[in-house]
Structure 1
Amino acid sequence: MKRILIVDDSELMCEVIKGALRGLEEDNIVFVASNPLIAIRKARLFNIDLALIDYEMPYMNGISLISYLKEINPLTKIVMVSAYTEPGAQITLEALAKGAIDYILKPSDKKEFEGFKKDLLEKVRWIFTEKEFSCKKSTREKTEPKISSYFECLKAGIPNYLVDKLRESKVIAIGISTGGPPVLEKIFTNLKKDFSIPILVVQHMPPAFTKALAERLCKLSQRQVKEAEDGERVENGVIYIAKGGVHLAVEKILGKYYIRLLENVEKVNSHKPSCDILFSSVAEWYGKNATGIIMTGMGCDGANGLLEMKNQGALTIAQSKESCAVFGMPRVAIEKGAAEAVLSVEEIIKLLNEV
């Protein structure tokens, strides 16, 4: 049994959220707080497992509330209920940096209530169980992945073999989802100044959010980070963020690599952009001269594409379970045999800085 706290000054939204939570398989205790002060009091009285919080509320905004809830109980998982706007995107990214594990877009009208409840229910299930819900057709084994201790520990430093393969890379492709923005911030702000391999990133987010993410990462890392544009050349030292609602791919023309945005392609693994599309494209055009990294996220997106990269001779890496907010995507990739190495975020940064 879990204790869930809903913090929203809208009675209607509270009822919609409670309606979604009734779909959970086990009985849970659901608390409601109409403002942050009540939320803080209830968090002190009860051991809250999950808090679903709005941003604009009386007395205190949602960002400030995150700090109080984390101080009371660092293990409380927090999901922001975010507005589908550019200011809403900026607020959401700040919430994720402060400790929120995920966000969900607030419905703009009653027609979107059912879709909102379905999405929220899936997220909550993932947070509580980390079981597969969106990828039920996966044929992967249900046992824990067997990972070589050679790659698990790395106590003697990064193996030369990995460094040599990375140095052959002309591009790095990253697929990431739930819990991703803080991880990307950590990686890009800790890369050495002269790091020059171009990086292509698929972060599962809607359009306004990916633009805000690129701008935030650019400001924090002092690097050239931008939302990818169709037809632009892939340049050294540039980090390209996939645009929300559009698949990101690459193409080689006369020895040069170019960005391709695929608007008319359907969702893959329920995502657009999809990590599988990026990885598959990189496998086709870069072959062995690439590195693929699959990181924290729900679901199975990216596993098949990463396996394609590995089969072409590229270096493939999965983020370790201990360093993931949600181990879903890396787990599936590992169990498919798509990951050549399994590394923590710190180890990934160290490897990148060896180039």
Structure 2
Amino acid sequence: MKRILIVDDSELMCEVIRGALRGLEEDNVIFVATNPLIAIRKANLFKIDLALIDYEMPYMNGILLIDYLKDINPLTKILMVSAYTEPGAQITLEALNRGAIDYILKPANKDEFNEFKKDLLEKVKGIIFQKDYAFVNIKRTTTSEKSEKKVFPVTCGIDNNRSHLINKLKESKVIAIGISTGGPPVLEKIFTSLNKDFSIPILVVQHMPPTFTKALAERLSKVAQRQVKEAEDREKIENGVIYIAKGGTHLAVEKILGKYYVRLLDNIEKVNNHKPSCDILFSSVAEWYGENATGIIMTGMGSDGANGLFEMKKQGALTIAQSKESCVVFGMPRVAIEKGAAEVVLSVEEIIDLLNRV
């Protein structure tokens, strides 16, 4: 039995969320708090396993409430109920950086309630029954820590294949990353830790809606102090630039007269229930870059990316899966590993160390 806390000042949203949670496969205790002060009191009285939090509330916002709930019980999982707006995207990214494990978009109208409840139920089931969730505690990085050079110890994952992996990475003309749940803090950690002269272009598919990917690119560019941008159709892929796939559009590449370009594919439906899809990116990189590429599949629920990463491996590219211990959700890397698509399995720190050896 799990204790779930709903925190929202809208009685209608509380009832919609409660309705979705009735679909859970076992009995759970569900608490409702119509403001953060009530939520804090309930969290002090009961061990809360999962809290579903709105942002705009009386007395304090959802970001501050995350801090309070984590101080009361660091094991409490946080799911943000986010607005589908630009400010909502910025807030959600901050919530993920502060310790929220995932988010779900609020329904814009009553017609979207059923789809919202279905998606919410799937996320909550995954979290409370720990299906592929590892619940890694991603340490928040302070400003002073970001300014310091990060040096990570090399562990056996790299030591056993050091020369081989480094040589294959050095031959890469591009790095493709597929990532989902738990991704933004991991991407922030990687990009802030890269050597300043790191020049291999990076293409990233992070499962997010359109407004969120633009906000993500802006945030990563600011904190990493390097060029991170939302990808644009037909732009030339330049060294040293990190391209984030636009939400709602597949990201691919093509080669014209010896140069590589970004392609955004609007006319292709969702793949593995995602748009952008990691499979589309990996398959495209396999086709146009062949062995001169590196593919990395990271934290996320589901199976997106496994097939495309396998195509990259068959073409001779270096393929990496994030280790279970360092994932928030091990689903995507797990499927890729089971399929034989990953040449090596590394932690986030090992991935950073490898990238910085180029």
Task: Report whether the alignment pairs 1:246 with 2:249.
Answer: yes
The alpha-carbon distance between structure 1 residues 187 and 200, as it changes in their structure 2 partners (threshold 3 A), is: same
User: Partner of 1:36 in structure 2?
Assistant: 36
User: Partner of 1:69 in structure 2?
Assistant: 69
Q: Distance in 2 between matches of 1:62 and 1:286?
A: 44
Deviation at 1:125, TM superposition (A): 1.4
SS of 1:154's equivalent in the other structure is helix
Contact 1:8 1:33 in 2 (8 A): yes
Q: Distance in 1 between matches of 2:329 and 2:3?
A: 20
Q: Distance in 1 between matches of 2:164 and 2:60?
A: 51
Q: Distance in 1 between matches of 2:119 and 2:315?
A: 35
Deviation at 1:156, TM superposition (A): 4.5
Task: Report whether the alignment pairs 1:12 with 2:15.
Answer: no
SS of 1:120's equivalent in the other structure is helix
User: Partner of 1:140 in structure 2?
Assistant: none
Contact 1:79 1:101 in 2 (8 A): yes
SS of 1:235's equivalent in the other structure is coil
Task: Report whether the alignment pairs 1:285 with 2:288.
Answer: yes
Give the fraction of aligned pairs with identical amino acids, expressed as a percent.
83
SS of 1:18's equivalent in the other structure is helix
Deviation at 1:130, TM superposition (A): 4.6
Once the two structures are superposed, residues 61-106 of structure 1 have per-residue CA deviations (whole angstroms, 9 ceiling, x without a partner) of: 0000001111111111101100000010000000000000111000
Q: Distance in 2 between matches of 1:296 and 1:28?
A: 28
State how 1:338-349 maps to structure 2 within 5 Å. 338-349=341-352
The alpha-carbon distance between structure 1 residues 114 and 10, as it changes in their structure 2 partners (threshold 3 A), is: same
Choose the corresponding residue for 2:235, options 232, 236, 260: 232
Contact 2:158 2:354 in 1 (8 A): no
Contact 1:158 1:350 in 2 (8 A): no
Once the two structures are superposed, residues 197-239 of structure 1 have per-residue CA deviations (whole angstroms, 9 ceiling, x without a partner) of: 0000000000000000000000000000000000000000000
Choose the corresponding residue for 1:262, options 243, 262, 265: 265
Count of residues in correspondence between the two structures: 337
User: Partner of 1:219 in structure 2?
Assistant: 222
The residue identity in structure 2 corresponding to 1:163 is I
Deviation at 1:157, TM superposition (A): 7.8
Q: Distance in 1 between matches of 2:129 and 2:240?
A: 39
The alpha-carbon distance between structure 1 residues 21 and 271, as it changes in their structure 2 partners (threshold 3 A), is: same
SS of 2:357's equivalent in the other structure is coil
- Runs of 4+ aligned residues of structure 1 deviating over 4 Å after TM superposition are 155-158
User: Partner of 1:275 in structure 2?
Assistant: 278
The residue identity in structure 1 corresponding to 2:256 is I
Task: Report whether the alignment pairs 1:353 with 2:353.
Answer: no
Contact 1:130 1:327 in 2 (8 A): no
Task: Report whether the alignment pairs 1:121 with 2:124.
Answer: no
User: Partner of 2:57 in structure 1?
Assistant: 57
Contact 2:6 2:14 in 1 (8 A): yes
Deviation at 1:315, TM superposition (A): 0.4
Q: Distance in 1 between matches of 2:52 and 2:157?
A: 38
Once the two structures are superposed, residues 98-142 of structure 1 have per-residue CA deviations (whole angstroms, 9 ceiling, x without a partner) of: 00011100011111100100110111111123548xxxxxxxxxx
The residue identity in structure 1 corresponding to 2:169 is L
Contact 1:295 1:318 in 2 (8 A): yes
Contact 1:199 1:240 in 2 (8 A): yes
Task: Report whether the alignment pairs 1:92 with 2:92.
Answer: yes
Deviation at 1:154, TM superposition (A): 3.2
Choose the corresponding residue for 1:206, options 203, 209, 216: 209
User: Partner of 1:107 in structure 2?
Assistant: 107
Contact 1:53 1:81 in 2 (8 A): yes
Deviation at 1:155, TM superposition (A): 7.7
Deviation at 1:55, TM superposition (A): 0.1
Unpaired segments ≥5 residues, structure 2: 133-153
User: Partner of 1:336 in structure 2?
Assistant: 339
Deviation at 1:159, TM superposition (A): 1.4
Q: Distance in 1 between matches of 2:237 and 2:129?
A: 39
SS of 2:127's equivalent in the other structure is helix
Deviation at 1:181, TM superposition (A): 0.3
Q: Distance in 1 between matches of 2:49 and 2:338?
A: 29
